[in-house]
């Protein structure tokens, strides 16, 4: 659990679902970023949206510690981070239908064909997203890798409970650390959004 001084969630168990209400001072809608890196996107997004709670998920300690440092400096009560693997976290530690949005920006592309099975956004991911999101919830995706982008499109276009949507301008204008680096090098980046629609009863 998180205390008021440490924005990083100390998991009491890696098999019991997280007690989310205990993490944030205000019960507000929850948005989650998977693979949040140095958290520069999430910190800025949380700063601009105080009526939403934000949770960053990142497997590298050095990077998630930056979420704590930056968020603490700004005194953001609506920001928390957790160091864990994203798919496991969604599947086993989050209560179902808990979030209104998932942000996945520049996930590791695993460009070699034999490594593609390591990609986070694969054919199993829409079911994880569906489990995590409330009805009408959003998935926001960005990548610099055209092949991975095609895979993202393919798996979400094939998931009939998701429909293509737009990324709002106020979200698109907040860039991530990797995005700024790609922009500076003139490398094009790609973006997609999907919305969960339909009935939720059979989501498990």
Q: Which is nearer to ligand SAM, 54 or 106 (CB)?
A: 106
Provide the minimum distance between the beta carbon of 202 and ligand SAM in the complex, in angstroms, as a whole number: 26
In sequence order, which ranges of the chain are alpha helices (DSSP H)?
Answer: 40-48, 61-74, 86-88, 125-132, 146-157, 169-172, 177-185
The minimum distance between CB 32 and ligand SAM, in angstroms, equals 11
Choose among 168, 157, 149: nearest CA to 194: 157
C-beta of residue 203 within 8 angstroms of C-beta of residue 131: yes
Build a one-symbol-per-residue string for 161-180: x at contacts with ligand SAM by CB under 6 A, - elsewhere: ---------------xxxx-
| Total of residues contacting ligand SAM (CB under 6 A) | 19
Respond yes or no: is residue 108 known to be catalytic.
yes
Structure tokens at 6: 């440490």
Q: Which of residues 90-109 bind ligand SAM (CB under 6 A)?
A: 105-108
Question: What would the x/- binding string for ligand SAM be over residues 25 to 54, using CB under 6 A?
Answer: ----------xxx-----------------
Using rule CB under 6 A, residue 116 touches ligand SAM: no
Contact (Cβ atoms closer than 8 angstroms) between residue 93 and residue 14? yes
CA–CA dist 140, 65 (Å, integer): 24
Cross-strand bridge partners of residue 79:
54
Residues of this chain that interact with ligand SAM (CB under 6 A) are 35-37, 57-60, 63, 85-86, 105-108, 120, 176-179
């Amino acid at each position: 659990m998180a205390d008021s001084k440490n924005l990083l969630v100390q998991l009491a168990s890696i098999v019991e679902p997280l007690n989310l209400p205990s993490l944030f001072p205000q019960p507000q809608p929850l948005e989650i970023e998977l693979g949040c890196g140095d958290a520069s996107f999430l910190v800025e997004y949380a700063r601009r949206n105080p009526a939403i709670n934000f949770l960053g998920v990142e497997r590298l300690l050095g990077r998630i510690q930056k979420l704590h440092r930056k968020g603490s400096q700004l005194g953001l009560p609506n920001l928390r981070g957790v160091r864990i693997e994203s798919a496991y976290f969604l599947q086993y530690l989050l209560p179902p239908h808990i979030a209104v949005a998932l942000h996945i920006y520049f996930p590791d592309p695993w460009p070699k064909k034999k490594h593609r099975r390591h990609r986070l956004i694969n054919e199993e991911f829409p079911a994880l997203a569906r489990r995590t999101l409330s009805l009408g919830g959003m998935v926001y995706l960005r990548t610099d890798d055209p092949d991975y982008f095609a895979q993202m499109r393919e798996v979400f276009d094939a998931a009939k409970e998701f429909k293509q949507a737009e990324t709002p301008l106020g979200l698109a204008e907040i860039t991530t650390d990797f995005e700024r680096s790609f922009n500076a090098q003139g490398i094009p980046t790609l973006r997609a959004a999907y919305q969960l629609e339909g009935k939720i009863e059979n989501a498990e």
